[in-house]
Amino acid sequence: MSKQPESPPCPGTWRDESLLKVITDNLPIGIAYVGPNRTYRFANQRFAAAYGLTLDSIIGMRAHEFISHDAMEVGDPFFEAAYKGTAVDFIHAARHVDGREMIVRTFLRPDFSAEGEVLGFFVCSFNVTREKEAESNLLQAQKMDAVGQLASGIAHDFNNLLAVVIGNLESLRDKITAPLIREEYLDPSIHAVEQGVQLTKQLLVIARRQPLFPEPLNIKSCLDDFMRLLRRTVRNDITFIVTCPDDLPMVFLDRVQFEVAMLNLCLNARDAMPDGGTIRIEVAYPSPRLGSGYLRLTVADTGIGMSAKLKAQIFEPFFTTKGSNQGTGLGLSMVWGFVQQSSARIDVESEVGVGTSFMLDLPVTTRAQDDPAIEDPERTEAAAKQGLIMVVDDNHALRRSIRRDLAIAGYAVIEAESAEEALPLIEAVEGLQALVSDVVMSGMTGDQLARAAVRIRPDLKVILMTSGDMPENGLEKENRFPILQKPFPNENLLRELEKPADEVPALDGN
């Protein structure tokens, strides 16, 4: 008999299985089939590799033989639901065989026989770590923005109140000559107001609304000065190791806020070492993460460390692990706000019982460091203090306080409650020497008023006042008008008024 030609393969033969294997192994997801007794009957390459297994070895294994006990506790209720015919999905943590921590979303879909009996279920798992991190970052940003809006509003109104208080207290101090009254009553009151100013600055740093004044800084010089202060504020059982090369580029930062951030990091490290230890401060260039545009500053301790759960919360405002009278929960939030506002980056590594490291990537600059300005120690009383000043602020009590101080110094003052009220007066009143205006007002802002006023009177001196929430209220990035942070001593305003008008801001359209 002649040999009969082979029939073409039917569905379900090796060709279909081979094609199925090629397809599933090339999908960017883990796929498996679980039969009775939680026995794995099928898995693609990605699913098996996630557990360090081969395709041959995973077939026939039961779930508890290769899935961790913690993961099984999470998955048990969903496995049971799938065996009962319910389609379920859940998100859970997982550890890859290479040690990576992942967040995985898993779908379980029952497999029914023709009679409706559940034979097993299909498994489909996606790595959603990046999506969850992005979601977490978005929620954190929204939370910080909400805190920022609240802090900004509080700071603006509170600083206006403080400006009135400190203005009246300083005027009262100048009129009282009795040393006992000044020392026992006035000086402590003024000091309390200054503490209130620092508190609002902390809130604004957290909210990223505290205006920064960055400049080129020699990081080694800054750290040398900072360490002289810091060593006097920590216990003797804490050792410092500072490593900072000499040939580093300048960083472009607000020095005051940088030192505050460093102080918070170091005090946080101190508190993490109740029995003593080592704080290591190390500077390296370039940044291993961001390259030559940044340098890396690391603050590391040998303290108690923290869990992943705590690490995820440390930058939240008012979050603290300390006792009710030992911390405000604002320190690391201030660091986070400073970093974000400085176009820098911060990362944290921590291990329980080993310690914590904060890595800051700080922007560098090619600009040279400015020479410190040398002020004349004697502010001459012969400076012309007579002239006409316009004060614009929507806070009546603050306008009154400023007007009184200027009048004592010899100036005549015109008041206006808004920019819209001030503009016609600026155009009509002759002999106007200077405009002193708040930045944040309803309607036209102080910055817009200043620019309009200079177009009307090019020689007009302009001084702006702010409670610190400028970026959200339209102050131009290229603003060249002097800015006073409320509340300010009367001497600061007088000093600005007495400066010669050597340069008037050049405005487009003139």
Residue ranges per structural domain of the chain: 14-127, 133-207, 215-365, 388-498
Q: For residue 301, which of 282, 278, 324 has the smallest C-alpha distance? A: 278
The helix or strand, by DSSP H or E, that contains position 215, with its residue range, turns out to be strand 215-217
Please tell us whether the domain made up of 388-498 is placed in CATH 3.40.630.10. no
DSSP annotation string for 112-162 = E-TTS-EEEEEEEEEE-HHHHHHHHHHHHHHHHHHHHHHHHHHHHHHHHHH
Which is higher by pLDDT, 215 or 206?
Answer: 215
**Mean pLDDT calculated for residue range 377-405:** 70
| Phi–psi pair at 281, nearest 5 degrees | -115, 120
Least confident of 238-242, 270-274, 334-338: 334-338
pLDDT recorded at residue 148: 62
Q: How far does the chain reach from its first CA to its final CA, in angstroms?
A: 107
| C-alpha distances in Å from residue 356, one per residue of 94, 258, 268, 312, 359 | 24, 20, 10, 13, 10
Write the CB contacts of 453 (distance below 8 Å, at least 6 apart in sequence).
422, 423, 426, 435, 460, 462
Residue 40 pLDDT more than 90?
yes
- What confidence tens digit (pLDDT) does each residue in 411-463 have? 888 888 888 888 888 887 778 889 999 988 888 888 899 999 999 999 899 99
CATH architecture of residue range(s) 14-127: 2-Layer Sandwich (3.30)
pLDDT recorded at residue 411: 87
Least confident of 10-14, 156-160, 268-272: 10-14
pLDDT recorded at residue 10: 45
Helical axes 187-207 vs 331-341, angle rounded to 10°: 60
Rounded mean pLDDT of the chain?
79
Tokens 């802002």 sit on residue = 445
3-state class of 393 per DSSP? coil
User: Looking at domain 215-365, what is its CATH homologous superfamily?
Assistant: Histidine kinase-like ATPase, C-terminal domain (3.30.565.10)
pLDDT recorded at residue 156: 67
Least confident of 33-37, 269-273, 328-332, 337-341: 328-332
**Mean pLDDT calculated for residue range 351-374:** 77
Identify whether the C-beta of residue 201 lies closer than 8 Å to the C-beta of residue 195: no
How many residues are there in the chain? 510
Identify whether the C-beta of residue 167 lies closer than 8 Å to the C-beta of residue 405: yes
CATH architecture of residue range(s) 133-207: Orthogonal Bundle (1.10)
| Residue 121 pLDDT class (50, 70, 90 cuts) | very high
| C-alpha distances in Å from residue 332, one per residue of 52, 131, 132, 265, 505 | 39, 25, 23, 7, 38
**Mean pLDDT calculated for residue range 166-191:** 79
3-state class of 432 per DSSP? strand
Residue 85, Ramachandran bin (φ over 0: left; ψ between -120 and 50: alpha; else beta): left
